[in-house]
Structure 1
Amino acid sequence: MKIAHYCNKFSPLSETFVYDVVKVLQSNKLVTTSEVITHMHINKNQRPYLYVTEIKDVSLTIFQKIWHFVLDKIGYRAGIEYQWKLKRIRLFNILKWKKPDIIHAHFGPQGCIIIPIAITLDIPLVVSFHGWDAFELTRDEFWIGHIKRMFLSASKITVVSKYMQHHLISLGCPENKIEIIHVGKIIYDYKFINKSKLEVKNFVSIGRLVEKKGHYDSVKAFINILKKYPQATLTIIGDGPLKDDLEKFVFSKKAENNIKILGAIDHEITKDYLYKADAFILCSKTADNGDMEGIPTVLMEAQAIGLPCVTTRHSGIPEVLDQVAHVFLAEEGNVDDIERAILLLINTPPDVLDTIIVKGREKVEREFNLETETNKLISLYKGLL
């Protein structure tokens, strides 16, 4: 089976999940090639992969850029559709030459771009939604129109949670086309360490510094925690547009000795911080523009390692936690409730915490194992041939 993966960029640091599934597919004996077609191949040293075809976007003239900007501002998306036309010409030629058995588009916009080519070449198309493409984009009339048309012609749609599945069905995705396939993690890459008998005081949070990750809420709640537990620490790993403002806020509260913002760092170093921590925190919420999570893979990593997690009732997040860990779920955007969840975790008896930690690891092994989820994806591919 020859699989052609189409994504805009391969592979941003925040999209480990695409890189992981592409690699695991290539190692499967049923897959002859798992090749990536992308417009920008990045992070090549951190994430080496041989089978990548890079299609550089055609540069627009200054006049074209200005004209498209003006049209987009008044609600006419001629700029986007013109760029799609240019991309499709080059994609068509490459796919006609490579003759894949399956095209797999990662994220909704890539599905919208490539669907006419899949139809013309009579190649089954699988489109995977991951988060913002299912929620933020579907608030925009331009995108919802294209996505609905794509639903009708795509062979299969995959999503990462029941929550996302219900949402896309409500938008018109046929129920018989949509399947839940978790992105998953390679479980044996994560050594399980049970720290239930140790004092919980060092928290770590990992995620881009954008509104939907809820870092401000986490920090505000943690500053309140420091009044009762002055030795507690919070290390935030990630970069993004809110970094400078978040750092200024921490300094304004004189909490810089307890709350550190490290920026983006290599994935292996990030794992070291997870191993050193006592607990994990990520307080995701719906951004003002409608952006939402799918299921943050870092919650799988944290639980695989053995960290109890304080997080929020947001999108598919409750689905990644065992029921016994739902006591540490807070209402999204509610700083007081996040503080309550942190305090509860700090004061949970070791025997109870032991159960929660073990159940968390078992949940990830059972439902978010990358090898298992990849086998589901291969079965989906085979059903389309």
Structure 2
Amino acid sequence: MKTVLTILMLVPIFPKLSETFILNQITGLISRGHRVFIQAKIPGDITKMHSTVAKYDLINKTYYNTWPDMNSIDIVIAQTGMRGADFVAIKDVLGFKGKLVTFFRGVDVSRALCSHPKRYTNLFKKGDLFLSVCDFFRKRLVVHGCDLQKIVVHHSAIDCNLFSYKTKKLVSDESIRIITVARFVEKKGIEYALQAFAQVVKKYPNVEYHLVGDGPLEDKYKKIIQQLDIEESVIFHGMCTQQQVYDLLDHSHFFVLPSVTGVAGDQEGIPNVLKEAMACGLPVISTYHSGIPELVQHGVSGLLTKEKDSQALAEYMLYLVEHPECWPVMGAAGRQRVVEEFDKERVNDVLEQILYKLCC
């Protein structure tokens, strides 16, 4: 009979529509028989949440700026480095005697370390295990003083069953649809995609570019679109549910996410939306940024450029527009890669074994 673990997840906001990777982890551990509770600093918008939040009654398992009986908790999993650093400073006051696991996913190991290099000194000393979502971040943690023996690379997962594979083909007289799903922030590099797309649509006026998401740079992007005179070819969809995103991916031909390092040092890990696009059979265009080359193999499942190179992006967009025969081959390779390494069932099985090894 396997041991049942009692786990407390520390998150900044719950529920949060964009953080399906955390939700997949929570529900995956519950489905494996473990008791999981959530501690969040800020309540999320319950009018915009995934159906699994209600299915697993997660709101009633969530503490907002209060704490459960910490003597009953076997493992605390901080879903960001910042939450881990905050918790390690108060864990003794709370009476916590279990194990502390901390994920490093993006801003917490890029911009946060650039601005405060000693931010995690105490966490590195007192934390029991650190899970990095990519090898690129693992190396950075070591540089900043984390014990290599305490770090395990553990990828964020997606539910491949939600993103069923479809061979991408061009139907006669059909417009080619390029898509980006992203928060409208600097590190997503969308302005470079827009500059590149302007070159594409100049040559092929029937190509469409669909933007899914929202964020602080939306007005800036709309001004760029106006300046480039491509308003009729760029379609904004706003923030969408997971099912809506799937439907849009299903009706698109290839995916673009030209991630860049922000001015303040902000970086991606391995963007989950790239995994979702590849799971749907979409060829992808992205950049040699952070952990992305650990997912996308250049020339096999997609095409990679250096950061902030709109000319190279345009050339790769044009290549895929002009060579639809490449779509099924790249799409199949991408789907295989994601299913083998990033599907939530496999990744959650691995996480369960990591947690057992740590505390049992």
TM-score by length of 1: 0.85
Taking the aligned partners of 2:237 and 2:260, their CA distance within structure 1 comes to: 22
Range 276-285 or range 323-332, more displaced: 323-332
Taking the aligned partners of 1:178 and 1:254, their CA distance within structure 2 comes to: 48
Tell me which residue corresponds to 1:107.
80
Q: CA deviation at 1:152?
A: 1.4
Task: Describe how 1:66-145 pairs up with structure 2 within 5 A.
Answer: 90-91=66-67, 94-96=68-70, 99-118=72-91, 120-141=95-116, 144-145=117-118
The answer to whether 1:27 aligns with 2:31 is: yes
Taking the aligned partners of 2:310 and 2:119, their CA distance within structure 1 comes to: 38
In structure 2, give the amino acid aligned to 1:192: Y
Tell me which residue corresponds to 2:210.
235
Tell me which residue corresponds to 2:46.
44
The change in CA–CA distance for 1:200 and 1:319 in structure 2 (over 3 A counts) is farther
Could you tell me which runs of 5 or more consecutive residues in structure 2 were left unpaired when the two chains were aligned: none
Taking the aligned partners of 1:236 and 1:349, their CA distance within structure 2 comes to: 21
Equivalent position SS for 1:325:
coil
Taking the aligned partners of 2:334 and 2:69, their CA distance within structure 1 comes to: 42
Taking the aligned partners of 2:191 and 2:182, their CA distance within structure 1 comes to: 12
Tell me which residue corresponds to 1:8.
12
Tell me which residue corresponds to 1:157.
130
The change in CA–CA distance for 1:105 and 1:222 in structure 2 (over 3 A counts) is same
Q: CA deviation at 1:326?
A: 6.5
In structure 1, give the amino acid aligned to 2:88: I
Tell me which residue corresponds to 2:342.
368
Tell me which residue corresponds to 2:226.
251
Equivalent position SS for 2:286:
strand
Deviation string, structure 1 residues 149-193 (Cα, Å, up to 9, x no partner): 201111100011111111111111111110111111111122110
Deviation string, structure 1 residues 27-76 (Cα, Å, up to 9, x no partner): 113x1x111111223133423242432324xxxxxxxxxxxxxxxxxxxx
Q: CA deviation at 1:197?
A: 5.5
How many residues are paired up? 344
The answer to whether 1:262 aligns with 2:252 is: no
Deviation string, structure 1 residues 324-372 (Cα, Å, up to 9, x no partner): 436611111011111111122223361x432211110000000111111
Range 44-53 or range 185-194, more displaced: 44-53
Tell me which residue corresponds to 2:286.
311
Q: CA deviation at 1:254?
A: 2.0
Tell me which residue corresponds to 1:59.
none
1:380 is aligned, of 333, 342, 354, to 354
Taking the aligned partners of 2:343 and 2:147, their CA distance within structure 1 comes to: 27
Q: CA deviation at 1:246?
A: 0.8
Equivalent position SS for 1:379:
helix
Taking the aligned partners of 1:335 and 1:16, their CA distance within structure 2 comes to: 30
Taking the aligned partners of 2:198 and 2:162, their CA distance within structure 1 comes to: 33
1:53 is aligned, of 36, 45, 62, to 62
In structure 1, give the amino acid aligned to 2:228: K
Quick one: percent identity of the two aligned structures? 27
Taking the aligned partners of 2:108 and 2:30, their CA distance within structure 1 comes to: 26
Taking the aligned partners of 1:196 and 1:356, their CA distance within structure 2 comes to: 12
Range 176-185 or range 256-265, more displaced: 256-265
Q: CA deviation at 1:11?
A: 2.6
TM-score by length of 2: 0.91
Q: CA deviation at 1:16?
A: 1.7
Contact 2:169–2:327 under 8 Å retained in 1: yes
Moved beyond 4 Å, runs of 4+: 196-200
Task: Describe how 1:159-174 pairs up with structure 2 within 5 A.
Answer: 159-174=132-147
Give the structure with the larger helix fraction. 1
Tell me which residue corresponds to 1:290.
265
Could you tell me which runs of 5 or more consecutive residues in structure 1 were left unpaired when the two chains were aligned: 57-89
Equivalent position SS for 1:146:
coil
Contact 2:281–2:328 under 8 Å retained in 1: no
Taking the aligned partners of 1:224 and 1:11, their CA distance within structure 2 comes to: 40
Equivalent position SS for 1:134:
coil
Contact 2:296–2:302 under 8 Å retained in 1: no
Range 213-222 or range 114-123, more displaced: 114-123
Taking the aligned partners of 1:55 and 1:187, their CA distance within structure 2 comes to: 31
The answer to whether 1:207 aligns with 2:216 is: no
Tell me which residue corresponds to 1:77.
none
Contact 1:39–1:55 under 8 Å retained in 2: yes
Taking the aligned partners of 2:299 and 2:89, their CA distance within structure 1 comes to: 46
The change in CA–CA distance for 1:174 and 1:232 in structure 2 (over 3 A counts) is same
Tell me which residue corresponds to 2:295.
320
Computed over aligned residues only, the root mean square deviation of the Cα atoms, in angstroms, reads 1.8
Tell me which residue corresponds to 2:328.
354
In structure 1, give the amino acid aligned to 2:106: G
Range 324-333 or range 130-139, more displaced: 324-333
